Chain A
Amino acid sequence: MRLLAVETATALVGAAVMGDDGAVAERSHLGGRAHAELLAPAIEEACASAGCALGDIDALAADVGPGLFTGLRVGVATAKALGQALGLDVLGVSSLDVLAAGAREEAGAARSARVLAVVDARRGEVFAAAYDFSTPGSGDDPDPADVCDDRAEALTPEELAAWSDDLAAAGPVLVVGDGAVRYRELLAPRPGLDLGLADRVAAPSPAVLARLAARRLAAGVAPAAPADVVPDYRRHADAAINWEERVPVRTAPSTAP
């Protein structure tokens, strides 16, 4: 299997290609908001580095968020179009799962028995999920069974802090993600929270995404048809229209001719 993974959920933009031998070639940039400009070249370069052409790819994975809306749209639109053009389905993977898997890779099993993954949602909020790998039979991967709590909407830093206190009451928690970095001052002093790897595991990594996706596909998780892959926004669309001045609506319309 040759798998291409597309990562755009946070400020890190990149792609990774896993070859038949399991080796992963990655190209990534800390792109800020230039996701569109950086992603396609990263895909080409990752393919070239892995010694294959796009036509040789036979599996696709994309980080579907939560994360930056524009970044997600660029990544998901790219993955959908690649899937459509190459006749491949796309495995969508949560950014929070990729962060948790990255924490497992970096920290080892003992230190990462319990992980809180936090993505900076901007506008003073975060997206977060907590994982527990300590239960018997739990593998290394952040599978649905390991997600002990995945908050479906954005949280304020204060809500995150209260939640992390609850988690830490049951044992040490490794906190990763750019949301942990942003709110380090709030989280780091709290008992039981380990932010020691927050900078190294600040963004979901394309290579980690590729490895996690490959394991899931091998385990029988089914990818989706390109048409069915959508970003996980976790926030309603901001329905503001930037009229310079709102025009009032006539109170008593007279529509009779």
Chain B
Amino acid sequence: MCAAPAPGHRAAIHRVLGIETSCDETAAAVVDGGTTIVSSVVSSQIDLHARYGGVVPELAGRAHVELLTPVLADALEQAGSDHTGRGIDGIAVTHGPGLIGSLLVGVAEAKALSMAWGVPLVGVNHLESHLFASLLEQPDLGWPLVVLLVSGGHTLLIEVTAPGEYRLMGGTIDDAAGEAFDKVARFLGLGYPGGPAIDALAPQGDPTAFSFPRSMPGDGYDFSFSGLKTSVVNRVRKEPGAQTADVAASFQEAVVDVLVTRARRAAADVGARALCLAGGVAANSLLRTRVSQACADDGIGAFLPSRALCTDNAAMVAAAGHWRLTRGDRSHLDLGADANLRLVSTV
């Protein structure tokens, strides 16, 4: 394609603009050298989707179109750049997995900027970018790592032996962990998003009040949260007087117990030097505490990205993009979006 910038057009990749629109956050960020966040702007659509108890794809796509111009302007200005892209050496954009109508908005924007500014473009896997969120705060993480990626859309255990070298160890066979939080919070009348609501209420309740099931399907590293959600619903129907805080605390205890048990075993089985959290559910207070404890007990590192880097953001996209652009990866102008893009090793 004639659009590929001439080799050596801008020899070194220092500053990368990241663009993220895979779900309900419209985000843009500039990262220098792959690890220094120069600017990071995230415009959340939570209020827009709250009354539906979840992300409405068509509403999300429409909101991205309205938000992309101001979010980009803010990210460039805070980075000391401007609309001409001064100082930007490359553009990275999430092209999957996620909501197709949302992904396409960011991909279209990124390609237009790449054409107009004459800088290279690379499409980034959203899951890979979550893994790079950790490197933004701790560039010298040792390998191998086991990453527990937990969000509203994903529950994955991934072995990382080096940047770009991934092995999927396990995933959920039904609901994602964040989805279970949303559904139970909705049932309990706690609103959306469910994770922060339950996290906030649980300390007021007794986590041993109810013994909810810890489902761990198979002998491997898979998860299942659908039965837990059903169990909560059935139990509360049988006991209408149950205190919501006790239910929330007991439910959270069960989810965290399952996540930590499986992640800990995965880390031990591959001889990981550290266990790393990623994704929106990684902001959960109890999960962070339990992972820290477990890793201390097992004598391995625990890496818990700051809450801002757990949830969707564009700094992690720029960081992943910096790594890809530096190793020579380029996307062409015919880049599309793939709602089901898989995480594959580059080696």
* A binding-site residues for B, Cβ under 8 Å: 34-41, 43-45, 48, 54-55, 69-70, 73-82, 84-87, 226-227, 230-231, 233, 237-241, 243-244, 247-250, 252-257
Contact = CB atoms under 8 A, between A and B. Distances in A.
Given A41-B1, A76-B65, A81 B244 contact: no
A73 B61 contact: yes
B299 interface: no
Contacts, number: 164
B58 A81 contact: no
A151 to B, nearest CB: 21
Contacts of A79: 112
Q: Which 8 A-B pairs have the closest CB atoms?
A: A85-B116, A81-B112, A253-B189, A257-B204, A40-B333, A237-B58, A77-B108, A227-B69
A4 B174 CA distance: 47
Given A69-B58, A69-B61, A81-B109, A239 B52 contact: yes
A68 to B, nearest CB: 11
Given A73-B61, A81-B72, A44 B3 contact: yes
Contact of B59 (A34, A38, A78, A239): A239
Interface string B204-217: 11000000000000
Given A41-B334, A44-B3, A86-B116, 12 more contacts: A37-B334, A39-B108, A40-B3, A73-B108, A77-B68, A80-B109, A81-B110, A85-B117, A227-B73, A253-B189, A256-B244, A257-B204
Interface of B is mostly: helix
B245 interface: yes
B143 interface: no
- Interface-centre pick from A41, A54, A249, A252 (highest chain B CB count, 10 A): A41
Contacts of A237: 56, 58-59, 62
Chain B residues touching A, range: 35 or more
Interface in B109-142: 109-113, 115-117
A40 B245 contact: no
A254 B241 contact: yes
22 contacts: A34-B336, A36-B104, A36-B107, A44-B1, A45-B2, A69-B58, A69-B101, A70-B101, A76-B65, A77-B68, A78-B109, A78-B112, A81-B68, A81-B112, A82-B112, A84-B73, A85-B84, A85-B112, A87-B83, A239-B56, A249-B186, A250-B236
Contacts of B1: 41, 44
A254 B113 contact: no
Contacts of B106: 77
A78 B114 CA distance: 11
B170 interface: no
A34 B338 CA distance: 11
- Interface-centre pick from A77, A79, A84, A241 (highest chain B CB count, 10 A): A77
